């Protein structure tokens, strides 16, 4: 029977909402949506580029907390606030992920007015 472990750590962004930042089951890590938030989970607004990079940095902190990195991500889902952000998103995405890229889904226009970007991912440890 696989053990389920909540990924925590001093660098892992926290939230007052009812979810875990990430769950590890066996060699798989399921990372909840990461947005432009500080360590306490408070939204930090800025340009799309700033919010996108902060979201990926939060994803990086969670990956590092479980001994992984972007190279271990096998699937990523991206939520982009507006169509006009898509080109900037793709350029920033390539700053964090390299080939072979993970499987990817990108949804546009689904965040409302509070966030400009959010990302969730699945990583495999010990690949």
14-59 residue pLDDT tens: 887 888 899 999 999 999 999 999 888 899 999 999 999 999 999 9
User: Distance (Å, rounded) from C-alpha 69 to C-alpha 114?
Assistant: 28
> Which residues neighbour 44 within 8 Å (Cβ) at sequence distance 6 or greater?
36, 37, 38, 51, 54
Fold of 4-124: 60s Ribosomal Protein L30; Chain: A; (3.30.1330)
pLDDT at 36: 94
pTM of the shown model: 0.93
Q: Which tens digits make up the pLDDT trace of 52-66?
A: 999 999 999 999 999
Give the model's confidence band at 2: pLDDT under 50 very low, under 70 low, under 90 confident, else very high: low
Give the model's confidence band at 1: pLDDT under 50 very low, under 70 low, under 90 confident, else very high: low
Beta bridge partners of 103: 75
Within 10 angstroms of residue 68's Cβ, the number of other Cβ atoms is 24
Tell me if 25 sits within 8 A of 121, measured CB to CB. Answer: no
116 φ/ψ angles, rounded to the nearest 5 degrees: -100, -20
Q: Is the pLDDT of residue 92 over 70?
A: yes
Report how far apart the first and last C-alpha atoms of the chain are (Å, whole number).
21
């Amino acid at each position: 029977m696989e053990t389920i472990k909540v990924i925590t750590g001093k660098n892992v962004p926290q939230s007052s909402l009812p979810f875990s930042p990430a769950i590890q089951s066996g060699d798989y890590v399921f990372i909840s949506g990461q947005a432009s938030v500080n360590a306490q989970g408070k939204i930090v607004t800025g340009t799309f580029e700033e919010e996108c990079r902060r979201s990926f940095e939060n994803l990086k902190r969670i990956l590092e907390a479980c001994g992984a990195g972007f190279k271990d991500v096998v699937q990523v889902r991206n939520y982009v606030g507006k169509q006009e952000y898509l080109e900037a998103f793709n350029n920033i995405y390539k700053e964090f992920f390299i080939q072979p890229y993970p499987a990817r889904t990108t949804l546009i226009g689904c965040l409302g007015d509070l966030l400009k970007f959010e990302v969730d991912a699945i990583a495999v440890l010990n690949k």
